[in-house]
Amino acid sequence: MKQPKFLPMTRQEMAEAGYDELDILIVTGDCYVDHPSFGAAIIGRLLTGCGYRVGIVAQPEWSDPECLRVMGRPKIGVGVTSGNMDSMVNLYTAGRRKRKEDMFSENGVPGRRPPHALPVYTQLVKQAFPGIPVMIGGLEASLRRIAHYDYWQDKIRPSMLVDTKADIMVYGMGERPTPEVFRRFAAGEPLDNIPGTARLLGKKAAEVFVPGDRYLELPSYEETLKNRDALMTATKMVESEMNPFGGHGLIQRYGDRLLVIEPPPLPLESEELDRVHELPYARRPHPSYKGRIPAYEAITTSVQAVRGCPGGCAFCGLVAHQGRCVMSRSAESIEREVDTISSDPRFRGTISDVGGAAGNIFGSTADRSICAKCKRSSCLFPKPCPNYHCDGLALRDLLRALRRHPKIKHVFINSGIRLDLALRQPELLEEIIRCHVSGHLKVAPEHLDPKVLRLMRKSSAEEFHRFVEIFEKLSKKFGLEQYIVPLFISNFPGCTDKEMKTVDDYLNSRHWSLQQVQDYIPLPMTMGGAMYYCGKDPDGNPIPVNRGLAERRPQIHVLKKRRSGKDKFRK
C-alpha cells in the first residue's frame, strides 16, 4: 500500500489517500508532526507500512466523543497515547503549578490535553466507538504500567490499565509488539504472550492464570497502598527485570484481578532501527497547523542516532521507556537522513544535533550472552561494566563523514555529553571540542556532593572537574571561545541545604551563572520517585526528603539566583 504524504486527519484526506474507511485510529495528546522524533508518527507509519489504513486524531476535545468520529468508526481498533511526554509532566511544574507553555502544541499554547490523558482519551474512545478494541502506549503508559506514586496528586495510583480499562498496554518504544497487537485485534485472537505488553485479567481469568517460572510477583496494589516500602520493593524488581535478553514477566494483584506484564521485547537491530527512521515521513507538521510547534522547531535539523541509555540515573524515566540497551543506527542510514535534511530549501547548512539520550553513546556494544545474565540497573554505575564498550571511535568517524558532506557547514552535538564516558573517549572528546560545539556544550553533573551523586547514580564530582579542565585546555588550544552548560538538580531525595551548598560554593568559586536549572520531579516508576515517596534509599536507610514548596524553596533559590538572563555560561 502506498503511504500518503500525511496520515489522514479528515474525511477529505482519507479520500485523497484512497481510504473508504480506517482500519486503525491513533489518538494522541500532541500535535501531529510527521517526523521520526514523534511517537504517534512512528507507530502510524509503521502500521501503514504493514498494510493498514491509519488515521490520526490529535489533541481531541476531551469532553466531546464526536471529535473522534470525524473519519468514522475504525474497522480494527484504536491506539491511544498521551504524546511524547507524560501528561502530568507536560502540564505541571515541580512546584505543582501549571506550565506556561506546551512544546508539543501549536504556538506552545498550554492546556490542550487533560491531566492523566490516557484514561480520559480511552474513555472518550469507548464513548465514541462502543466495543472497539483499544491499545494504550507511549511514555505515560510505560512509566505508569504498575501501581505507582503520582507526585502531583501525592498518592499511589493503580496501573494505567486499571484506570483506562484498555484491552492491552504496550510499554516501551512499541515497534515490535504494536503490529502484533493489531493483527490479533483483527483476527480476534487472544492477546497473551506478546513481549512488551501488559493485560489486566478479570477474576475468572486471574484464577486460572499459572505464572510458572516466567513471572515474578510484585507487591499487590493493596499492599502498596498500606506499606510505603512496597513501592521500593516493586521498583527494584522492575529495574532488575527490564533486561530484554533475560528479564522475567511480572504480575501484580488488584483484589481479585491480576495485572500481567510480559517480559520486555528484544531491542531493534541496527537495520530495523534504520527502517523505522527511513519510513516515508513528511518530516514536518500536518498542514492544518498554521502556527509554530516548538518541539518540532527544536529537532528540525537534528538526527536521532541512538535509542536507549546505559546510565540508569535514578531521576530519569528514559530507561523505563527506551531501555538500557543502546541501539545505534548505521552510519549509512544517518548519512541518508542528512541528505534528506540538507535537500530541504529551508536548510541553512547546520545539523543541530547527532545524538539521543546522550551525545557520546553512539556505537556502544556489548556481548549479549553476558547481558542476558545481568541484573544491574546501570551499565556505568557504580563502575562501568567491563562488558559495555564505547570508545567513541564510531561516532568520531561518523562526524568526520558528515563534515565532508557538500551541503553541511556545521555539525553540532547538543544532546549533552556523559562525563563518565567522555573521559574514556579521548579522541572523540577532542574531536567534539574542536569541531562540534555550537558555542555551548551541555553536560549534566547534576550535583557535586558525593552522597547525593551516589543516590542519583551519577559519576563523581572529580570527573566533572577533570572534564572542565580538559574542555577549557582544548578550547584554548584550538583558539575557540566556547563554554560549558552544566545542569544541576535541586531537592533530590537525600539532598539537604548542606549538600546543596557544595554546588553553591563551587559556582561561587568559578563566578559562574547558569543557563539551565531544574528542581527535582519524582517521576513514576523511577528509583528517585520511590526514594522520594518512601524516604529511604534503595538499601532501606532513611534519607531526608524535601516535600512541600516551603521546604524546597531554599535549594531552588540556590540555582535560580545564578540563572543568567543572557544566553551564555561564562566565568
Output the DSSP codes for 520-545.
----TTSHHHHHHHHTB-TTS-B---
Whether residue 380 contacts residue 360, with contact meaning beta carbons closer than 8 Å, is answered with no
Pull the grid cell for residue 227: 506499606
Within 10 angstroms of residue 487's Cβ, the number of other Cβ atoms is: 16
CATH for 135:
3.40.50.280
Write the single-letter amino acid at 213.
D
Alpha-carbon distance 101 to 91, whole Å? 8
Same domain, residue pair 360 and 508? no
Would you say residue 434 lies in a domain? no
Q: Do residues 449 and 499 lie in contact, with contact meaning Cβ atoms separated by under 8 Å?
A: yes
**Residue 427 belongs to a domain:** no
Instruction: Flag whether 551 is in a domain.
Output: yes
Residues 6+ apart with CB under 8 A from 386: none
Sheet holding 518-519, edge to edge: 440-446, 483-490, 518-519
- Same domain assignment for residues 176 and 100: yes
Amino acid sitting at position 536: K
CATH number reported for the structural domain that contains residue 319 in this entry: 3.30.750.210
Residue whose cell numbers read 505543582: 96
The answer on 308 and 217 residing in a single domain is no
Mark whether 468 and 386 lie in a shared domain.
Answer: no
Return d(Cα 564, Cα 322) in angstroms, integer: 33
- The whole-number pLDDT of residue 516 equals 73
| DSSP per-residue string spanning 63-126 | T-GGGG-TT---SSEEEEE--SS-HHHHHB-TTS-B-S--TTSGGG-S-SS-SSHHHHHHHHHH
Calpha distance 539→413 (Å, rounded)? 37
The residues pairing with 26 across neighbouring beta strands, listed in sequence order, are 56, 79
Most distant CA pair in the chain: distance in Å?
72
Grid cell listed for 119? 484514561
Helices 497-510, 549-560: inter-axial angle, 10-degree rounding: 10
CA-derived radius of gyration, the chain? 23
**Residue 276 CB contacts under 8 Å (≥ 6 apart), including other chains:** 36, 42, 46, 175, 268
Pair (248, 356) in one structural domain: no
What is the predicted pLDDT for the residue at 555?
Answer: 94
Give domain status of residue 232, yes or no: yes
CA neighbor of 13 nearest in space, from 75, 68, 70, 73? 70
Residue 538 lies in a domain: yes
Task: Return the pLDDT at 412.
Answer: 97
- Cα distances (Å, whole numbers) of residue 256 to 200, 221, 301: 11, 11, 51
What CA–CA distance (Å, rounded) separates 260 from 253? 9
Q: Which of 25, 126, 526 is nearest to 319 (CA)?
A: 526
226 with 320, same domain? no
User: Are residues 446 and 413 both part of a single domain?
Assistant: no
Query: In the prediction, which pLDDT does 568 show?
Result: 40
Shared-domain flag, residues 400 and 453: no
Q: Burial-class residue 403 by CB neighbours within 10 Å (0-12, 13-18, 19+).
A: middle
Residues β-bridged to residue 440: 483
In contact, 47 and 281? CB cutoff 8 Å: no
pLDDT of residue 2: 81
C-alpha of 127 from chain center: 30
> For residue 570, what pLDDT is reported?
40
Domain boundary among 417, 452, 474: 417
User: 252 and 138 in one domain?
Assistant: yes
Residue 391 domain-assigned? yes
DSSP E strands, 302-359: 302-304, 306-307, 327-328, 350-351, 353-355
One domain for residues 413 and 453: no
What's the pLDDT at 512? 83
Question: So what's the pLDDT on residue 564?
Answer: 54
Residue 278 lies in a domain: no
User: 409 and 460 share a domain?
Assistant: no
Q: Is residue 424 part of a domain?
A: no
Domain, as residue range, for 81: 11-261
125 contacts 131 by C-beta, under 8 angstroms = no
Residue that the C-alpha cell 562526524 belongs to: 399
Query: How far is Cα 489 from Cα 448, in angstroms, rounded to an integer?
Result: 10
**CATH code at position 491:** 3.30.750.200
**How do the pLDDT tens digits run along the chain, 571 residues long?**
688 999 999 999 999 999 999 999 999 999 999 999 999 999 999 999 999 999 999 999 999 999 999 999 999 999 999 999 999 999 999 999 999 999 999 999 999 999 999 999 999 999 999 999 999 999 999 999 999 999 999 999 999 999 999 999 999 999 999 999 999 999 999 999 999 999 999 999 999 999 989 999 999 999 999 999 999 999 999 999 999 999 999 999 999 999 999 999 999 999 999 999 999 999 999 999 999 999 999 999 999 999 999 999 999 999 889 999 999 999 999 999 999 999 999 999 999 999 999 999 999 999 999 999 999 999 999 999 999 999 999 999 999 999 999 999 999 999 989 999 999 999 999 999 999 999 999 999 999 999 999 999 998 999 999 999 999 999 999 999 999 989 999 999 999 999 999 999 999 898 887 877 799 999 999 999 999 999 999 999 999 999 988 999 999 988 887 765 443 434 3
Tell me, yes or no, whether 183 and 314 share the same domain.
no
Residue 404 DSSP code: T
* Sequence-separated (6 or more) residues with CB below 8 Å from residue 13: 4, 6, 55
- Output the pTM of the full model: 0.95
- Tell me the one-letter amino acid at 215: Y
Domain boundary among 232, 261, 290: 261
Q: What is the pLDDT of residue 21?
A: 97
Q: Give every strand in the sheet of 77-81, ordered side by side.
A: 54-58, 24-28, 77-81, 134-136, 168-170, 197-201, 257-261, 249-254, 215-217
| Count of the separate structural domains present in the chain | 3
